[in-house]
Amino acid sequence: MIVQTLSGKVEGLKMEGAYLFRGIPYASSAGGSRRFKPPTPPLPWEGVKRCDRFGAIAPQNPAQEGILSELAQSEDCLNLNVWTPEDLSNGPKPVMVYIHGGGFVGGTGAECDGLRYASEEGIVFVSINYRLGALGFLNLRELLGEEYATSGNNGMLDIVAALQWVQHNIAAFGGDPSRVTVIGNSAGAKCVASLYLMPKAHGLFHRAIVQSGATQAVRDPQTADVTTRRVLEKLGLSPANSRRLLELPAEKLIEAQSAVGFDTSHGLHMFGPVADGLVIPRDLLAALKHSQGLPPLLIGFNEEEAAIFIQNDPRLQSPHLEVLEGFFGKNADAVWNAYQHYSKSMSPDVAWTRTLTEHLYGIGAIQFAEAVSFSGAPVWMYRLRCGGRLGAIHGYEGSLIQAALAAGDSGFMTTPSFDDPYAVTPEMKELARGMRAAWSAFIRSGNPNTELLPAWPVYGEEHATMVLDLASSVRRDLPVPVGALVPHQVWRMD
């Protein structure tokens, strides 16, 4: 299949029931003289570009195994992948744009597989790469001047450029540019939520799915400047010779960012969007509440998000205020107080898991949902309660939906590995099918209601929440997390 884009022709791969186009440039290289600058349109090419391999990914720490270790890294990484149904009859198809997670320092659009969305759901699936870490989110406005005023948000501007590409080109792949859903999990969800705040993103997407994330990773400029100073120190640079950042090998920047603070793949991060007043407004919730025409939102989090981090991260094995200061900055005391409150009525382990889950994910999701709902946009909230041996951990909703996609109509996983905390068991079949149907319905129409789940009302003033479990139900009486009224939307540190 050959498709004409605005930059040139691309040829994809024939798959079972779909076509796949890998590594299509949506912007020019972000390296060389373009480092730390906003994205620019892709350079046109002649002839037909063979898109049978994934493009280069954003520079990041090398992975030990898996897809990341197999892909080249380059600052020329602004490319995307498209899966489109083989059958393009019955008019343009809804479009799903996947934004990968990875703590703003890792990940790639190649980590997902849109084949079944395209072949079985009739959805045009797009996954993207965007700049990460220091190359995508290092705030250099004060050091390098107005030419680099957006450097703290260039990763977000990359995503906007990809959505602009979708608007201009996706019809040629059979997609409907008026039905674009952006979806992300973890840091990808935080990117999606940040798009709601960006005037440049207005009109580029028409609904959004935010899984375990919101705007809690957006940093104020002072915090962003602290990160910048720490990166300079690791590189042995002073503000006076900071322009050497433009010339250093990308590998040196990655080494420096890896040595800065709690740049983990969960929670709040040293890197991420900046409330700079230019790309993203300074008062996040006020901007949302007074916005008009915001897209419909499907958002939620999982009941034991933090359990997987507690298991895998030695720093989190037991509660310490010092650890919380690294994760939450000036909000650490509020988080510690919440832990002290919960530990009076439950075991320390349960209290620790609940505290981290709520303050890493739950509070941010609730506050974001309420702000978007206040603006008048329809919001559907979920809370996943069903999970594996560690409970409904971070990313588990993705496991359920992928299991349902993989099973199709032919059956379901029958031999899961019970040692795997992300294993999905046969008893979860109906829940997984219901979630797959709800997500697909939302992508098609902007409303997640389906016969496979109970009637799902909008969040609204009653805070109606779909509790996803073996027997799902709508609840309006879920307890408010301790500290939910405390502002956590912008991460601050001294």
The answer, yes or no, to whether residue 414 has pLDDT greater than 90, is no
100-114: pLDDT as tens digits? 999 999 999 999 999
Our CA dihedral for 65, 70, 72, 75, rounded to 10 degrees, sits at -40
Share above pLDDT 70 across residues of the chain, in percent, rounded to a whole number: 92
Per-residue confidence (pLDDT) for residue 272, from 0 to 100 = 94
The answer, yes or no, to whether residue 456 has pLDDT greater than 60, is yes
Of the candidates 450, 442, 403, 410, the residue with the CA atom closest to the CA atom of residue 424: 403
Q: Which two tokens stand for residue 358?
A: 């709520």
Task: Please tell me what DSSP assigns to residue 472.
Answer: -
Domains in the chain and their CATH numbers?
1-282 (3.40.50.1820), 302-367+388-494 (3.40.50.1820)
Task: Please tell me what DSSP assigns to residue 362.
Answer: I
Task: Please tell me what DSSP assigns to residue 48.
Answer: E
Share above pLDDT 90 across residues of the chain, in percent, rounded to a whole number: 81
Q: Which two tokens stand for residue 54?
A: 């994934």
Q: Which two tokens stand for residue 256?
A: 């420096």
2-22: pLDDT as tens digits? 999 999 999 999 999 999 999
User: How would residue 265 be classed by pLDDT, with cut points 50, 70 and 90?
Assistant: very low
111-164: pLDDT as tens digits? 999 999 999 999 999 999 999 999 999 999 999 999 999 999 999 999 999 999
Angle at 162 between CA 161 and CA 166, to 5 degrees: 115
Place of tokens 């792949």: 173
- Of 60-64, 401-405, 489-493, where does the model show the most confidence? 401-405
Q: Which of 18-22, 82-86, 152-156, 266-270 has the lowest mean pLDDT?
A: 266-270
Q: Which two tokens stand for residue 409?
A: 């109509």
216/406 Cα distance (integer angstroms): 32
Q: Which two tokens stand for residue 452?
A: 């496979």
Helices (H), 122-174: 133-137, 141-144, 154-169
Segment holding 80, helix H or strand E: strand 79-85
Buried b (16+ CB within 10 A) or exposed e, 401-416: bbbbbebeeeebbeeb
Amino acid at 154: N
Per-residue confidence (pLDDT) for residue 270, from 0 to 100 = 84
165-174: pLDDT as tens digits? 999 999 999 9
User: How would residue 418 be classed by pLDDT, with cut points 50, 70 and 90?
Assistant: low
C-alpha distances (whole Å) from 112 to each of 5, 126, 476 are 23, 10, 34
**Mean pLDDT to the nearest integer, 217-245:** 94
Burial class (CB in 10 A: 0-12, 13-18, 19+), 482: buried
Number of Cβ within a 10 Å radius of residue 241: 11
Per-residue confidence (pLDDT) for residue 264, from 0 to 100 = 41
Place of tokens 């992928």: 402
Buried b (16+ CB within 10 A) or exposed e, 91-107: ebbbbbbbbbbbbbbbb
User: How would residue 29 be classed by pLDDT, with cut points 50, 70 and 90?
Assistant: very high
Q: Which of 209-218, 317-326, 333-342 has the lowest mean pLDDT?
A: 317-326
Can you name the residues that pair with 19 across neighbouring β-strands?
14, 84
Q: Which two tokens stand for residue 377?
A: 């946009």
- Strands (DSSP E) found in 129-277: 175-185, 207-211, 218-219
Q: Are the beta carbons of 234 and 254 closer than 8 angstroms?
A: no
Q: Which two tokens stand for residue 56?
A: 């280069």
Instruction: Give the catalytic positions in this structure.
Output: 186, 305, 394
Q: Which of 113-117, 219-223, 330-334 has the lowest mean pLDDT?
A: 330-334
399/403 Cα distance (integer angstroms): 6
Task: Please tell me what DSSP assigns to residue 216.
Answer: T
332/493 Cα distance (integer angstroms): 10
Q: Per-residue DSSP letters for 416-443? A: --TTSTT---GGGHHHHHHHHHHHHHHH
Q: Which two tokens stand for residue 431?
A: 């829940």
Q: Per-residue DSSP letters for 384-404? A: E---BTTBS-TTHHHHHHHHH
